[in-house]
Amino acid sequence: MLELSSVVINRGGRNIVNNVSLAACTGEFIALVGPNGAGKSTLISVVAGLMKPDSGTVTLDGRSLGEFRGQNLARLRAYLPQNPFCEWPISVERLVALGLTPSLPAIGKMPEAHISRITATIEAFDLSDHRDQPATTLSGGELTRAMLARALVGDPELLFVDEPIAGLDPRHALDTIKRLRRLAETGKLVVASLHDLTLATRYATRIVAMHEGQVIADGTPGEILTPRLLYELFDVDARINGEGERAIVDFLPPD
Amino acid sequence: MRSSFPMIVLLLALLSILFFLSLLAGRVWIPPSEVFSGLFSGGTELSEIIIFELRLPRAVLAVVIGASLGMSGAVLQGLTRNPLAEPFLLGVSAGASLGAVIAIYFGLAAMFAAATPFLGIVGAFSATAITFALGRGGGTLALILAGAAVSGLGGALIALSLNLAPNANAAYEIMNWLMGSLSDRSWDHVFLVLPFVLIGGAILISTGRALDALSLGETQAQSLGVDLLHLRLLVLFGTAIAVGSATSVAGVIGFIGLVAPHLIRPWTDYQPSHVIIPAALAGAVLLLGADIATRIIHIGPELKLGVFTSLIGTPFFFWHVVKLRKTAP
Amino acid sequence: MFDVWRMISLVSGLLLMAAPSISQAQSPQRVMSLNMCTDQLILNLLPASRITSVTFLSHSSPNAALSALAAHVGINYGTAEEVLSQRPDLIVSGDTSTPTTRAILGHAGYELHEVPSADNFEEIREITRKLGQVLGEEIRAEEMIVRMEATLKELVETMPQKKIRVVAWDGGGFVPGRGLLFNEILSVAGGINIAAVDGNDYLVDFDLEELLQARPDLIAYASATLKAPALRTQALQHRIVRRFYEHRLITYADNLYVCGLPQSAEAAKDLRAAMAMVMESLEVLQ
């Protein structure tokens, strides 16, 4: 159970996150939506324990995130920033293996158990054909899958992803979001910031809408996603057709 | 590691050959058979003395110093994710030289021998810290410029120290020394430098895991439990200790730290932690080879080791800059 | 007629007597030296009252005799401002001034006398004589030369049978070879400079391997090396040097070897004494 209480973040003299309170538990797939500059990336960093709030608290099962040792927290939660990249042309297998860094013994080779875990994860993300390929030569979709694989190889309870489908074509975007939904269904907490409202509506179990540093709506897509909310967030007229997995969110040009 | 095993064997073989060649190179010709008997000391024969007291420590120094330069180059490139990072270009050598100059010319080295490596380490540490601080977040250009600025500052302070030094010959002497050399060294120098290089080397090797995680960028590495500040301090200390002490004994030797990792990286799996030890071996091979070359090439006065490595390394550096310009935005 | 001749001889005599005082009035009264070697020469040839300044190098020289002499005269750092403010009527320096400097001094109306470096006793004789002439102190110059010749003669007559093999090694990488004053002084003192072989002219680079192979009897190093810490002092701590040459080291006052002066003959005498002392103590040790 992850709880944020009155979190405030200021950077460079400006307020980025303003008094946000939130509670989330495993099994949820939360889509964080809002316009550029609303504070989504910052909120995700805070929630992932990578940034300390200027005031307010973030607790996991009652314990403040700041109290966790770096490695223990690393085992519990995984984080992916926007546009993750790999600096060196290491193989996909090695890339995925990096996700096990917090569990590696101080010296010595990787344990057998880890090796089979890596293989299983590579298969689960359909990367077996690319196993030995240098990560820097992967296509956009393949790299996203590889990064997700590295995030999940350690089997964390929590997954925080900032804009996971940026730059992906429709097929890969759909594929990624479906995976995230399945992960939530297997009992993880997944929080992702998204710009694609259609996919958010269809697959997220909960939507948190942020505007100018504040949460202005929080609930299931059916409950809170209305053209009015969308207009408030994005200053654009919107139309929502269908529901559930058939829902479509259209944005309309001004007359 | 599987793919690098044959490469390591090759490097070790190369190192052994060069090591032996190093014992043969020198102004006094000693036939190979006498080289062998000289290796096991105790002798009073001229050849035995030359081999054991002069050439053997010189070869050992080349290996130790070359390894420390290669290793620190690999780690610096891993930390900064910058292919042009190396101790010389980042101003580490300049800082170390300043420390050594102060030790020598203000009488500290005369008081206790370890003053020179100590001050070399202090100088290297300060210089590296300043370069890191100045070059943060600015990419390749900022880092190299910061290194150039720190080198410039180091040079200016060396000039000032020489100006103020009690000895009028200081300026001439140090010009020679700054050009880097391993000639006329002894076992005393080896014992002075070895403990520091071992300690520095151990620290540098320990950063391997964290450097691997850093391949994914700072935020992902942080999310994997890497303490970035702790990592930077380890790299800072490891480099300062290994390179600072090496420079204090041999003078300024550049470009080994740049070239060694680049040469062996294609033969590894590119993971930073798997590059460190091969880079150390490659550095040792390069420096030993360079040192032999300076003794074989006769162009008049003795060719200085640091000058030689610069002559070989600078074109490599230029080539890299050109390559970067093509790929950069 | 007899009276006229007497008159003429009287007048000529008077004129001749006056001549020295006339030439004295013409000889320089405010001499400035811009070079350490010429410093020493003029300090030995002129009274302090006729010297405006010598360089700071002589004032702070490790050689006590030299700095004591220099203390009585002014100081300069070789700058143009000092030349202007001290207004010498003669400037003495080495022969390494740039043509520009010479031209400027010439245009400004300053007299410049350049003393070339002297690499052997013949040249020392020449430069001392010449300088004596220019300064109007021929007599004194001649006295110094005579003393030098006497010392040299003595040294030649008492030349020891066995020549001692020496190298001037300071670990700085360069040793004096042929063609330098050091060589000359060493020969007169009864030594052989092992670095002075064919092809080794002036300063030669020499490393420990060559040193070991050549096996000199003694290693000489400049006494200035001891005074202020330097890389060279470290070189003398080298294992090899300590092991084989610990009792075979002699020092020499390098200002007399770098500059060709009449006193360099004395330096040869001192060197011979030092070498003899060390060789004797070695025999005792054995």
ipTM: 0.90
Residues 6+ apart with CB under 8 A from A197: A33, A225, A230, A238, A249
CB contact under 8 A, B107 and C173: no
Question: Minimal Cα distance from C231: which residue of B?
Answer: B104
Residues of B in contact with A99 (CB under 8 A): 224
CB contact under 8 A, A98 and B214: no
Residues of A in contact with B220 (CB under 8 A): 79-81, 84
The pLDDT of residue B43 is 57
Residues of B in contact with A91 (CB under 8 A): 269
Among A90, A101, A150, beta carbon nearest to B269: A90
Angle at A2 between CA A206 and CA A58, to 5 degrees: 120
CB contact under 8 A, B167 and C209: no
B213: contact with A, CB 8 A cutoff? yes
- Digit-coded pLDDT (tens) for A116-147: 999 999 999 999 999 999 999 998 889 999 99
Domain assignments of chain C as residue spans, ordered by start:
4-115, 160-285
Among A45, A78, A87, beta carbon nearest to B81: A87
Residues 6+ apart with CB under 8 A from C155: C188, C189, C190, C265, C268, C269, C272
Over 90: is that where the pLDDT of B320 sits?
no
The pairing of strands A248-252 and A237-241 is antiparallel
- What integer is the mean pLDDT of B319-327? 80
Residues listed for chain C: 286
The A214-219 sheet, strands edge to edge: A77-80, A158-162, A189-193, A29-33, A206-211, A214-219
Contact A80, A147 (CB under 8 A): yes
The pLDDT of residue C8 is 62
Residues of A in contact with B266 (CB under 8 A): none
CB contact under 8 A, A85 and B219: no
CA distance C224 to chain B (A): 9
Among B209, B214, B270, beta carbon nearest to A89: B270
Q: Of B258, B259, B125, B253, nearest to B178 (Cα)?
A: B253
Contact A126, A164 (CB under 8 A): no
The pLDDT of residue C35 is 86
Q: Per the confidence metrics, is the pTM higher than 0.90?
A: no
CATH of C4-115 among 3.40.50.1980, 3.40.50.12280, 3.40.1190.20, 1.20.120.530: 3.40.50.1980
**Dihedral in degrees, nearest 10, Cα atoms C157, C160, C164, C169:** -40
In this chain, the answer to whether the domains covering C4-115 and C160-285 adopt an identical fold is yes
A26: contact with B, CB 8 A cutoff? no
Q: What phi and psi, each to the nearest 5 degrees, are found at residue A162?
A: -100, 110
Q: How far apart are CA C51 and CA C29, in angstroms?
A: 7
CB contact under 8 A, A101 and B226: yes
The pLDDT of residue C228 is 67
Q: A and C: touch, per 3+ CB pairs < 8 A?
A: no
The pLDDT of residue B264 is 92
Residues 6+ apart with CB under 8 A from A229: A209, A216, A217
A99: contact with B, CB 8 A cutoff? yes
Among B81, B216, B271, beta carbon nearest to A84: B216
Contact A90, A134 (CB under 8 A): yes
* Contact map slice: A 42-71 vs B, CB within 8 A: 45, 48, 50, 69-71
Residue A101 or residue C175, greater confidence: A101
CA distance B94 to chain A (A): 29
- Digit-coded pLDDT (tens) for C134-172: 998 899 999 999 999 999 999 999 988 888 898 887 766
Residues of C in contact with B165 (CB under 8 A): 228
CA distance C50 to chain B (A): 28
Contact C213, C182 (CB under 8 A): no
CB contact under 8 A, A88 and B217: no
- What integer is the mean pLDDT of A100-119? 84
- Digit-coded pLDDT (tens) for A4-55: 999 999 988 889 999 999 999 999 999 999 998 888 999 999 999 998 899 9
CA distance B247 to chain C (A): 15
- SS3 (DSSP) at B198: helix
Q: What phi and psi, each to the nearest 5 degrees, are found at residue B29?
A: -75, 125
Size of interface A-B (CB pairs under 8 A): 67
CA distances from residue A170 to A173, A177, A200, B83, C177 in whole angstroms, order as listed: 5, 11, 14, 36, 83
Q: How far apart are CA A130 and CA B152, in angstroms?
A: 47
Give the best-scoring range by mean pLDDT among B141-155, B311-325, C219-233: B141-155
CB contact under 8 A, C230 and B176: no
Task: For residue B115, list its beta bridge partners.
Answer: none
Domains and CATH numbers, chain B: 5-324 (1.10.3470.10)
Report the 10 Å Cβ neighbour count for C177. Answer: 24
Residues 6+ apart with CB under 8 A from A135: A86, A89, A90, A91, A92, A94, A95, A143, A146
Task: For residue C281, list its beta bridge partners.
Answer: none
The pLDDT of residue C52 is 92
- SS3 (DSSP) at C55: strand
- Digit-coded pLDDT (tens) for B172-184: 777 777 888 898 8
Residues of B in contact with A80 (CB under 8 A): 220
Just give the CATH number of C160-285.
3.40.50.1980
* Contact map slice: B 181-210 vs A, CB within 8 A: 209
Q: How far apart are CA C62 and CA C55, in angstroms?
A: 14
Residues of C in contact with B183 (CB under 8 A): 173, 207-208
- Digit-coded pLDDT (tens) for B60-87: 999 999 999 999 999 999 998 888 888 9
* Contact map slice: B 7-46 vs A, CB within 8 A: none
Q: How far apart are CA A247 and CA A240, in angstroms?
A: 7
- Digit-coded pLDDT (tens) for A189-239: 999 999 999 999 999 999 999 999 999 999 999 889 889 999 989 988 888
Over 90: is that where the pLDDT of A253 sits?
no
Over 50: is that where the pLDDT of A76 sits?
yes
